[in-house]
Chains A and B, each alone.
Chain A
Amino acid sequence: MITFEAVSKRYRNGREALLNASLHVAAGEMVFLTGRSGAGKSTVLKLIALLERPTRGRVLVGDADTGKLPARKVPAFRRRVGVVFQDHRLLVDRPVFDNVALPLIVADSSLKEIDKRVRAALDQVGLLGSERMLPAELSVGEQQRVGIARAIISRPPILIADEPTGNLDPQLASEVMALFRRLNEVGVTVVVATHDLHLVRESGLRSIVIEGGRIAGAEPQPGAAPDDNLPVIKAER
């Protein structure tokens, strides 16, 4: 589903965020990206969501080589990847309903379909009844869940989350992770970047460790065949 082949990413300011990184995430898998701040976790997620293109190497997401995808196909590609940010990136002057509905609106869904699916998504994240509230009227945890509802409303096959529990207390963090697990159980490929090793250990799922822009290690999921070309190192516990 997601494959990085010797991927490097250098930003315009000259910073090398990723160096010769190779990794693979199978369809329907849920993995964690761990590492210190600035290690390159967010860059991996941006490359998956095609918010950035690789400087060298290949990033394959589904059947798309993101480095070669023409600009006109980028919007359709992005609709297949749900993104959850630590800072939520909600539209502060729009009610919850409009925020969650945005992916369906840009996809030209019918109003009836939008109404039905927004309610379903909000129900899924436990926010049904908050449709008319503005983001500022919600707690941080609720805002995060609005962001998750927006990411999953168009039923993307891939969901990526950048530090989704960074601003949440342990109980809310567990709830959010449980939500990701439920989505993963219905076939969504989930990639979560976090530096919360407690959550990673608790989950028992595979984690990919990134250090200084390099893949420092990975713990394979039980039963999964390790790729001979990829470094497979036990994640630190």
Chain B
Amino acid sequence: MSGTVGSYFARHTHALLSSAGHLTRAPVATLFTVFVMGLALALPLGLDVLVRNVRAATGDFSGAVSVSVFFKPGVAEARATQLARAARERPGIAGVQLITATQALAQFRAQSGFGEALDALQDNPLPHMLVITPRPASANPGSMESLRRYLRAWPEVDSVQLDGDWVARFNAILALMQRGLLLAAALLALGVVAVVGNTIRLEILNRRAEIEVTKLVGGTNGFVRRPFLYTGALYGVLGGLVAWLVVMVAIRLLGPTVATLSQSYGSRFGLLGPGGRDLQLLLGGSAVLGWLGAWLSAARHLARIDPGSS
């Protein structure tokens, strides 16, 4: 059994090394193919890095979404406290802060510079208010609108104001970028499959005599296909490495400029590159794409080659 397993691995190792050998025997053609694939893969990787950097630069805006609830004049502070408690018990609420009319006036007095003018007022014109912060998972437009309707239904409430519209718009832009990223990745993945498929097709035509002899002595389509699949996967891995290098070089070149710009806004933000896990995903994904392109091409073209047909 162990001999069978050992033989299995030996055959696959042989096929892998044979495929690598074929690539090195045509270095210029291999380089061209690998660069085309690398550039195609670099675009979605670069877009992904861009989206992540934009998110990092702008911070997590989910905490910036809040709802301000203004009570009608005359609502008692005890009643406002009671309603604040009720709001806290609603699911999806991260925090509720009650700002009483007295606190609001004191705050206004401190910040506005109209202290003496305010002394002339006989009554406090400001209402009690609640500042409600939803949990990040509930900070989406649907949940926020539901919360607004709920609060608006209280008879003590004069008005409800959503404070996060701009965040919603910004998140929508990011979501659009991510969709675009996925679309670009899907299209470029198809491109990679096509590039590998065409390269393997040419490889099969070049090795037609070898394939015929292999089939003549009893080689199955699976056996003949194996080295081509390894070739496709190797193209994928090498293309992934090129894509990685392209993005890393771009980050290296743009990093100082972005840091300077960031410092001018008083930030210490620096460009973030893809991490080790991203590299693993990239190489794994590109290997699968290469393998798929090779499989599609080999399945189509190898079946047409038979030693009897020549």
Please give the residue numbers on chain A whose beta carbons come within 8 Å of chain B beta carbons, in ascending order. Answer: 46, 49-52, 75-79, 83, 89-91, 102-103, 105-111, 150, 154
Contact = CB atoms under 8 A, between A and B. Distances in A.
Given A46-B308, A89-B209, A106 B7 contact: no
B306 interface: yes
Contacts of A150: 217
Contacts of A75: 215, 218-220, 223
Given A46-B308, A78-B218, A107-B218, A102 B3 contact: no
Given A76-B218, A110-B7, 12 more contacts: A49-B216, A51-B308, A75-B219, A75-B223, A78-B215, A78-B216, A83-B216, A89-B216, A102-B219, A107-B218, A108-B7, A108-B8
A52 B216 CA distance: 11
Interface string B1-31: 0010011101100100000000000000000
Contacts of B308: 46, 50-52
B217 A103 contact: yes
Name, among A49, A52, A75, A90, the residue most crowded by chain B CB atoms within 10 Å (CB to CB): A75
B209 A106 contact: no
Contacts of A83: 216-217
Contacts of B3: 110
A103 B209 contact: no
A79 B217 contact: yes
Contact of B213 (A76, A89, A108, A110): A89
Nearest to A93: B210
Contacts of A89: 209, 212-213, 216
A110 B14 CA distance: 12
B214 interface: yes
B220 A91 contact: no
B136 interface: no
A51 B220 contact: no
11 contacts: A75-B215, A75-B218, A75-B220, A75-B223, A89-B216, A91-B210, A103-B217, A105-B14, A109-B7, A154-B217, A154-B218
B216 A111 contact: no
B307 interface: yes
Chain B contact patch, size range: 20 to 34
Nearest to A80: B218
A106 B219 contact: yes
A108 B11 contact: yes
Interface of B: 3, 6-8, 10-11, 14, 209-210, 212-220, 223, 306-308
Contacts of A77: 218
Contacts of B212: 89
A127 to B, nearest CB: 18
Nearest to A111: B10
A125 B234 CA distance: 39
B158 to A, nearest CB: 80
A75 B223 CA distance: 10
B111 to A, nearest CB: 83
B218 A106 contact: yes
A108 B215 CA distance: 14
A78 to B, nearest CB: 4
Contacts of A50: 308
B287 to A, nearest CB: 25
Contact of B217 (A46, A52, A106, A110): A106
Nearest to A91: B210
B25 to A, nearest CB: 9
A49 B215 CA distance: 11
A106 B211 CA distance: 12
A111 B213 contact: no
Contacts of B218: 75-79, 103, 106-107, 154
Contacts of B306: 51
A91 B212 CA distance: 10
Contacts of A107: 218
Contact of B307 (A51, A90, A91): A51
Contacts of A103: 217-218
Contacts of A90: 213
Contact of A51 (B210, B216, B223): B216
B7 A91 contact: no
Contacts of A51: 216, 306-308
A105 B11 CA distance: 8
Contacts of A52: 308
A78 B217 contact: yes
A123 to B, nearest CB: 20
Nearest to B303: A71
B213 A106 contact: no
Contact of B7 (A76, A79, A111, A154): A111
Nearest to B213: A89
Contacts of A91: 209-210, 213
Contacts of B307: 51
Contact of A106 (B10, B210, B214): B214
